Structure 1
């Protein structure tokens, strides 16, 4: 019950964050212009983007499956991935998407450290891919060479890349050093087993490089889908601007301030694309349409899990087993 109350409290905080940000957006921007942007979208376009988005998540599930060294069957990994997507975007009070995905994988694999290392590794690789795409888009912008333009972009990208590298390569030796030096610290067994799993993953540079390129390719397709959704609404900016702004907005949206980035992603993307000629209401309208894609994909993931006999909530006992 305490876990459920804590999850609900976190959900309410994030829901409040989304509500506040959306309130500011609709307060400062003309609501009529945002709503008019939706009318320019066609259902065939929206559904085609949704279908392509789902295929991208099948590819994302396969990347996570490879990082787990294919220790479970791909259908199990796919089911767990879509269950995590559903929990992350659709369920108030449910465990986080990564926890749900890890719980289902652990139920099949019974190897908590491997599941944890693959989950964190997958997240860090995605962040590193976003940072690389952001830097690439930034360098392709005509204004990239102007003084002062690197003030925010390069430090953010470098911080993300440093975080990913630290998680994948620095954690194993640091964990061994800390828990060897102070063996009385809690969770010693778990920390050392996770460090061992991370160490095994770090010894496979070809796999890490492949999954990094794979992740960048998936994210590039997602950017292209966002462009397809935004252009009919009226957002016409250079491709380089999209490859700069979209990853940065997604990184900002990962901060635990909102429900799946709702409001934060749209506001950030509008602020980043307006200097390149986009109208803020059009960017917000296309961004909210993209959020509709995200939530529909989460609902489809929930339907897949329920029809296959599963549940969206990860039991506390399963999460406890992962840490043992």
Structure 2
């Protein structure tokens, strides 16, 4: 029964967001673009921070495009959660800049851990939110 309430809450949340997008498409486009830019910057900062942990001297400019590309490749529907694809892309893309294979995979796995942590925090916030309103 709780699963049904959760699915209904999720459906209602998405439906409400879609209605808001259609009511104000210009604003929705701006928010989506700002969200994309923010995600790329945060992904690059995460990658740069994690790369410093594994003693990599990869310049920040390369981080601006390498890790977002790796994240996009990891979303391809050819693996579960992008595992394997993310590591392979890290090996190839970071290897082009002379990053040791073990360090490239370590950075990729550290990013995966951060993504999972973010997902767990989001799930906790979702479950702790207000219950879905009953519709009659």
TM-score normalized by the length of structure 1: 0.34
Stretches of structure 2 that go unaligned for 5 or more consecutive residues are: 1-5
The alpha-carbon distance between structure 1 residues 297 and 104, as it changes in their structure 2 partners (threshold 3 A), is: farther
CA RMSD of aligned residues (A): 3.1
Alignment of 1:49-198 (within 5 A): 101=10, 103-106=11-14, 109=16, 114=19, 118=21, 197=22
Q: 1:275 deviation in Å?
A: 1.3
Matched with 1:292 is 113
Distance 2:65 2:40 in 1: 12
Deviations 1:75-120 (A, max 9, x none): xxxxxxxx9xxxxxxxxxxx8xxxx85x14157x4x8x526xx4xx
The alpha-carbon distance between structure 1 residues 273 and 106, as it changes in their structure 2 partners (threshold 3 A), is: closer
Q: Which has the higher contact order (CA 8 A, sep 6+)?
A: 1
SS in 2 for 1:288: helix
Q: 1:256 deviation in Å?
A: 0.8
**Matching residue within 59, 81, 88 for 1:260:** 81
Contact 1:241 1:273 in 2 (8 A): no
Distance 2:64 2:95 in 1: 14
Q: Does 1:226 align with 2:134?
A: no
Distance 1:266 1:114 in 2: 38
Contact 2:73 2:85 in 1 (8 A): yes
Q: 1:309 deviation in Å?
A: 6.4
TM-score normalized by the length of structure 2: 0.72
Aligned residues: 126
Alignment of 1:240-259 (within 5 A): 240-259=61-80
Stretches of structure 1 that go unaligned for 5 or more consecutive residues are: 1-82, 84-94, 119-196, 312-324
Larger gyration radius, structure 1 or structure 2: 1
Contact 2:43 2:67 in 1 (8 A): no
Q: 1:228 deviation in Å?
A: 0.4
Deviations 1:4-53 (A, max 9, x none): xxxxxxxxxxxxxxxxxxxxxxxxxxxxxxxxxxxxxxxxxxxxxxxxxx
Q: 1:310 deviation in Å?
A: 5.6
Distance 1:299 1:225 in 2: 17
